[in-house]
């Protein structure tokens, strides 16, 4: 089985894409992924025919500067779980860094996700990633998951034609996971390879947010 890359080349899938999942993915209509420049596009993840919603955001320089500040540090993983406002504050507290743009964005995304999932408590994990992380295509064992890569290459996902796409940095992606009630599409995704290739040695700052019901 091969997958076509965005540049038109094809290669054999050797990264563990389950054949059954890939076949199901290929049968899905392209409309299982929705994009938009308003945060309201994320509400579409609740549609039965949607498996991934992407909120496209213009890069704000002050936010980018704050995020890059964190990449000057050694790799880290910080996890907090609380109400959106408190979780965002605790994240900045644990980072020993309070840059208003970063805090405001943490809080905004946490609040947006809490509303989306009707969960008063969210778990936020901020990671400075320098390795391949989750390279296998997979579906997360959660209901919904929000991912935002502030700096560096974003999460890769397989579209209905088997092409590998990548979420742009600063964009906000909400994936439907295996624990989401009901059937409907689930979009396979993975972390970009940083160990070799075109993205080698590009660090990432990634925020992952889940609901705690």
Binders in 136-175 for Fe ion, by CB under 5 A: 140
Backbone angles phi, psi at 12, to 5 degrees: -70, 140
Question: C-beta of 189: minimal distance to Fe ion in Å?
Answer: 6
Q: Across-strand partners of 54?
A: 35, 173
- Site size toward Fe ion, by CB under 5 A: 1
3-state helix, strand, coil in the chain (%, to 5): 30, 30, 45
Query: Considering beta carbons, is residue 28 or 210 the nearer one to Fe ion?
Result: 210
Give me 43's structure tokens: 């509400």
User: Is-contact 179 148, C-beta < 8 A?
Assistant: no
Distance CA(87)–CA(30), nearest Å, equals 35
Shortest distance, position 177 Cβ to Fe ion, whole Å: 8
Q: Could you tell me if 126 and 206 are in contact, meaning their C-beta atoms sit under 8 angstroms apart?
A: yes
Which CB atom, from 92 or from 167, has the smaller least distance to Fe ion? 167
Cα gap 104→102, rounded to integer Å = 5
Q: Which residue has the tokens 């936020």?
A: 124
Q: How far is the CB of 58 from Fe ion (least distance, A)?
A: 25
Comparing CB distances to Fe ion, the nearer of 82 and 140 is 140
Write the binding mask 114 to 143 for Fe ion: x where contact by CB under 5 A, - elsewhere: --------------------------x---
Determine, following the binding rule CB under 5 A, whether residue 82 of this chain makes contact with Fe ion: no
Kindly tell me which of 103 and 113 has the beta carbon lying closer to Fe ion: 113
- How near is the Cβ of 138 to Fe ion at its closest, in Å? 6
Q: Report the residue number, 119 or 191, with the smaller CB distance to Fe ion.
A: 191
Provide the minimum distance between the beta carbon of 2 and Fe ion in the complex, in angstroms, as a whole number. 23
Cβ atoms of residues 203 and 128 within 8 Å: yes
Residues interacting with Fe ion, by CB under 5 A?
140
């Amino acid at each position: 089985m091969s997958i076509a890359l965005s540049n038109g080349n094809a290669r054999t899938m050797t990264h563990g894409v389950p054949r059954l999942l890939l076949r199901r993915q290929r049968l899905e209509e392209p409309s299982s992924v929705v994009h938009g420049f308003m945060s309201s596009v994320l509400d579409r993840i609740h549609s039965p025919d949607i498996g991934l919603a992407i909120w496209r955001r213009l890069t704000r320089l002050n936010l980018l500067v704050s995020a890059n500040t964190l990449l000057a540090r050694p790799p880290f993983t910080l996890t907090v779980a609380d109400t959106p406002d408190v979780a965002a504050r605790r994240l900045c507290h644990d980072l020993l860094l309070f840059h208003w743009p970063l805090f405001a964005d943490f809080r905004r995304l946490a609040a947006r996700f809490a509303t989306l999932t009707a969960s008063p408590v969210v778990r936020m994990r901020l990671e400075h990633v320098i390795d391949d992380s989750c390279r296998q295509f997979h579906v997360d064992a959660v209901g919904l998951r929000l991912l935002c890569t502030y700096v560096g290459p974003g999460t890769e996902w397989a579209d209905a034609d088997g092409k590998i796409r990548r979420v742009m940095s600063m964009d906000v992606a909400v994936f439907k996971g295996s624990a989401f009630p009901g059937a409907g599409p689930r979009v396979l995704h993975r972390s970009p390879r940083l160990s070799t290739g075109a993205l080698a040695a590009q660090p990432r700052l990634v925020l992952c947010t889940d609901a705690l019901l």
